[in-house]
């Protein structure tokens, strides 16, 4: 079974079409090429599906990096 971080990396790789290893520190909203507003909503939908949750609006707006997404994944995976 994949770790929570690995599950999240898989989501980012699929949605942002990342070839090769996921460089987490480069994954920033509006900085990483494919992470625009459309990519953001696709990430949100994928995270909500994977972790069977529904994010709050302020969480969606605040999810501006991989680490921020990981924080949310941790929160909902424990819930």
Partner 1 sequence: MRALDLTGKVALVTGSSRGIGRAIAQRLLEAGASVVLNAHAETPELAATQDALAKSFPGKVSAAAADVGKAEDAQKLARFVFDAHKRLDILVNNAGRLGDGLIGMIPAQTIEETLQANLASVLYMTQAAARLMARGKKGSIINLSSIMGTRGCSGQMVYGAAKAGVIGATLSAAKELAPQGIRVNAIAPGFIRTAMTENLCEDVKARRIASIALGRIGEPEDIADVALFLASDLSAYVTGQVIGVDGGMVL
61 binds partner 1 (CB under 8 A): no
3-state DSSP helix/strand/coil % of the chain, to nearest 5: 60, 5, 35
Q: Give phi and psi for 64, each to the nearest 5.
A: -105, 5
Binding residues for partner 1, rule CB under 8 A, total: 12
Minimal distance in Å, beta carbon 15 to partner 1? 12
- Which residue number, 20 or 78, has a Cβ lying nearer to partner 1? 78
68 and 52 Cβ atoms separated by less than 8 Å: no
- Interface residue with partner 1 among 1, 2, 54, 79 (CB under 8 A) is 54
47 binds partner 1 (CB under 8 A): no
């Amino acid at each position: 079974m994949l770790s929570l971080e690995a599950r999240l990396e898989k989501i980012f790789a699929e949605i942002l079409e990342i070839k090769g290893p996921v460089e987490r520190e480069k994954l920033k909203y509006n900085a990483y090429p494919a992470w625009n507003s459309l990519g953001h909503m696709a990430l949100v939908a994928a995270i909500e599906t994977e972790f069977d949750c529904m994010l709050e609006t302020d969480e969606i707006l605040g999810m501006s990096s991989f680490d921020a997404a990981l924080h949310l994944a941790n929160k909902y995976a424990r819930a």
